[in-house]
Structure 1
């Protein structure tokens, strides 16, 4: 059976929800992880939309609070909402999406990285400079994410509410996992020219990886968010690590 890309499930679901064809869509919980609490990630946002009724809280991506009224997420998650930012929300402090805890804040504007563009790898959409900033309708009184570079870190942590395997359609619990950072060469071997080390970070393995509905979520190393879940071929597929968007140039 052909592998689903990290965006294909969400593209189909959002297309049905909107009843319009979509050129691209957000996607990509954590394969090989364990249940986690938002108390460990107080700045972590579940990015979603009320129209995305197939998921509790409308969640389809993650994000990080970088200013009281700004959330950093993946560009491919929100590029289609640039003209209708009011359809987006950011939810904080909710371990289980089916619960009612935490707080949900509306989005008033979407700013996608000016150099964002898309190519493809085996039918998987590849986002370059895959970053965006959401402006919230009001400031959120929560700790802010510290941003940085992976440097020489060899491991990191990822967190998200997405699939725990390629066939797990129903996970709604926040999960986290430790992932290896194998270096650029591992992703260059897997993806060839589709992997650009100037704006991408290679992380993950067959034992621990991100998956659908994790996109925009954090890769944390040395106590800082160093990249965001962006794309990859399959989830936890041997020989194909996950690819993350570097934060070196924010939109």
Structure 2
């Protein structure tokens, strides 16, 4: 079934021509998923801007959250995170940000290197509903099962409540073959039959085999959820993440 869908995508790409498949580059989206409890994805956080849901993120440690670079589009004082809640607008723990580091080669135009590390002003209280997730060291294979979650639009409205959906990985080479002009090294794709993530889910977690494998980056129009969603590939950025985090921790020890 999935191979047939992928063949259909490749055929569509051929018909539309290079540069046409993802002609509407927007923040990725959760469409045709279902409401879930935060206990199912305790690593998920809502990145708030002026106390309103703005993006998603993933807990790396009590002090650190990983999100998309394009989510950091304003002064740091405007941002905070909410962890441990199934609703982006209430409950859980709300903590201000201390500092942010966006990938030095992030491009607003192409969404290359769409990844950022966020340090919290105070540590999260870890527990059943607030847990870190392991970082992938290897990219999952083509067609591997995956799961994306977020508080963003469902295609029709912003639910505020956490939603999630099952997907399958579309490997880098397979995704790049759909449109080589828009898929770059460091990106990975995931696909479901009219299922994906929407605006507001950007920065959130794509998980496979219990590991964080992707950061929600961009996709096509929410009203046409038939193309793969595109994510920053965590395995590709694994060394960058560790060096960035270790460097910051070393500097903090010398303050």
Question: What corresponds to 2:172 in structure 1?
Answer: 184
Secondary structure, aligned partner of 1:118: coil
Please tell me whether Structure 1 or Structure 2 has the larger radius of gyration of its CA atoms.
2
Q: How does 1:52-63 map to 2 (within 5 A)?
A: 57-63=51-57
- C-alpha displacement of 1:212: 0.8
- Tell me how many residue pairs correspond in the alignment: 211
- Where does structure 1 lack aligned partners over 5 or more consecutive residues? 8-26, 51-56, 120-125
Q: How does 1:101-180 map to 2 (within 5 A)?
A: 101-119=91-109, 126-142=110-126, 143-148=131-136, 149-152=138-141, 154-165=144-155, 168-180=156-168
- C-alpha displacement of 1:101: 1.5
Moved over 6 A (4+): none
Q: How does 1:32-111 map to 2 (within 5 A)?
A: 32-50=32-50, 57-78=51-72, 80-81=73-74, 84-98=75-89, 100-111=90-101
Cα deviations by residue, 1:130-150 (Å, 9 ceiling, x for unpaired): 000111010112221111033
Instruction: State the distance in 2 between where 1:225 and 1:214 align.
Output: 15
- C-alpha displacement of 1:163: 1.2
Say whether residues 1:212 and 2:199 are aligned partners: yes
Residues 192 and 206 (structure 1), Cα distance of their counterparts in 2 relative to 1, 3 Å cut: farther
Residues 212 and 154 (structure 1), Cα distance of their counterparts in 2 relative to 1, 3 Å cut: same
- C-alpha displacement of 1:190: 3.3
Q: For the aligned residues, what is the CA RMSD?
A: 2.1
Question: Is the Cα contact below 8 Å between 1:187 and 1:240 reproduced in 2?
Answer: no
Given the two structures, how large is their TM-score scaled by the length of structure 2?
Answer: 0.76
Question: What corresponds to 2:188 in structure 1?
Answer: 201
Given the two structures, how large is their TM-score scaled by the length of structure 1?
Answer: 0.77
- C-alpha displacement of 1:4: 10
- C-alpha displacement of 1:43: 1.9
Instruction: State the distance in 2 between where 1:94 and 1:32 align.
Output: 21
Secondary structure, aligned partner of 2:179: helix
Residues 192 and 77 (structure 1), Cα distance of their counterparts in 2 relative to 1, 3 Å cut: same
